[in-house]
Amino acid sequence: MLRLSEGIKMVKYAIVGGLNTGVDFAVFCLLVYGAEMGSIGAQTISYLAGVANSYLLNRNWTFQVKGKRSMAELTRFILINGLSFAAATAVLLGLEQWGTESALAKIASIVCSLVVNYAGYRFWVFPGTKRMEQSGSRAD
């Protein structure tokens, strides 16, 4: 059965994910439709804006990681987001090649990145949170 603290983390992750998605999507649309930037440039900038928001909110609020940021944690976070970016960009560009409107293709790419990121964050980037709870080192 799911512990209450784990359920709370999942709700927080969903909220942060919504905020990240909003930042990513808004910046992308602003750049593509407002600044008439190409999809690759807009995807890169919008994705980085969402990633910065994600790291700060997930680390500090969702998973409540205490202590200093480690280079290993940041490296894992960057690797997961690099993988997620590659997968999301492939979906975006592939759908655009098939004639899908940029905004709709972006929505599909966001879904792809959410799946990759959740698995990576929960089980590889911020796994220490669960160990800390089980050892009683932290109270929720």
Q: Please compute the mean of the pLDDT values over residues 116-135 and round it to a whole number.
A: 68
Q: Is the pLDDT of residue 65 over 90?
A: no
How far apart CA 117 and CA 90 sit, in angstroms, is: 16
Half-sphere exposure of 122 (CA within 13 A, CB side): 13
| Rounded CA Rg of the chain | 16
Residue 85 has pLDDT above 90, yes or no: no
Q: What is the arithmetic mean of pLDDT over 34-40?
A: 94
- Helix (H) / strand (E) containing 122: none
Q: What is the DSSP letter of 44?
A: H
Percent of the chain with pLDDT over 70: 89
pLDDT at 92 over 90: yes
Cβ-in-10-Å burial (0-12, 13-18, 19+) of 56 comes to: exposed
Any long-range contacts for 66-75 (C-beta under 8 Å, 24+ apart)? Answer: 66/132, 66/138, 73/125, 73/126
Residue 8's pLDDT band, with cuts at 50, 70 and 90, is confident
Instruction: Tally DSSP H helices, then E strands, for the chain.
Output: 5, 0
User: What's the whole-number average pLDDT of the chain?
Assistant: 84
**Residue 136 scores a pLDDT above 60:** no
Residue 121 banded pLDDT, cuts 50, 70, 90: confident
Residue 3 has pLDDT above 80, yes or no: no
User: Is pTM beyond 0.85 here?
Assistant: no
DSSP state for residue 55 in the 8-state scheme: H
pLDDT band at 139 (very low <50, low <70, confident <90, very high): very low
